[in-house]
Structure 1
Amino acid sequence: MKKTILFIVSLLFGLMFINAGLNKFFNYMPPPKDMPESMLKVFGAYMTIGWLMPLIGIFEIVGGLLCIIPKTRALGAIIILPIMVGIVLTAIYQMPSGLPMAAVLAVINLWIIIENRAKYLPMVR
C-alpha cells in the first residue's frame, strides 16, 4: 500500500515539475493575477538572464521524469531539491500565498528522499 501511494504521489509530483519545466519553454500558463509587484520584478530579472530559465526548465523536466520512474526516483528527487529550496524561499519571502503549495511539494520531495536514503549512503561513506 505504501509503495502504491508513493508511486501515485511521485507521479503527480513529477508531472507537476515536467509541466513547470515545459512552461519555461512554451509559456502557456499565465502568471497569477494576484502576483505581487516585487515578484514581477524578480521574474523580469530572471528573464534578462537568457540562459537561466531554460536551464531550470531542463532540470525540472529531467527531475520530474526521473521521479516518475521508481528505479531513478532517488536521483530525480536530488535534482529537484535545489529547485524546491528556491520555491520554498521564494514563497516565504516574496509570495506567502504560495507557501501551502510549496510546503506540500517540499514534504513530498523530502519523503521521496527519505524513502530512498539507502541509495544515498554510499556517497557519504
Structure 2
Amino acid sequence: DEVDLKEMNKYLKLAFENIDNESMFAKCDMDFHLAVAKASKNKILYQLFEIIKTLYTVWLVDFVANHGKEKSDHFHNKVYQAIVDRDAEKASDYMKNHLYDVLHKVEMDVRHERSDAPTL
C-alpha cells in the first residue's frame, strides 16, 4: 500500500544521502529490507529481519566498506520500482539477484580468509 511504499522510498533516499557514511548506509539498508518484509505481509519474514537487525547492521558496515554500496543501492531501487509498478515477479527477481550478489561476495570473503590462514 501507499504507506509501505513511502516507507521504502524514505529509506532508499536516506541510504543514497548517506552513501559515504558506512554506518548510516548500513542502517538504512537494513531498514529498507525491513520495510520490504513488512510490505510483504509475511509476518515470519518480518520477525526474522527484526531478530537479525542488529547483527546484520553491524556486519554490513564492514561489508559495504569492503565491497561498496552502489550495487546494493542499484538493486534496492530496482526492487522498489518493481513494487511500485506492482510487478511481483520482477521485484522477486531483483531481490534474488541482489541476494545472490551479496552471497557471492560473502563467499569471496570466506575464501580470502581461508587463503590468508596460516599454514603449517
TM-score after normalising by structure 2: 0.38
Between 1 and 2, higher relative CO (CA 8 Å, sep ≥ 6) is seen in: 1
TM-score after normalising by structure 1: 0.37
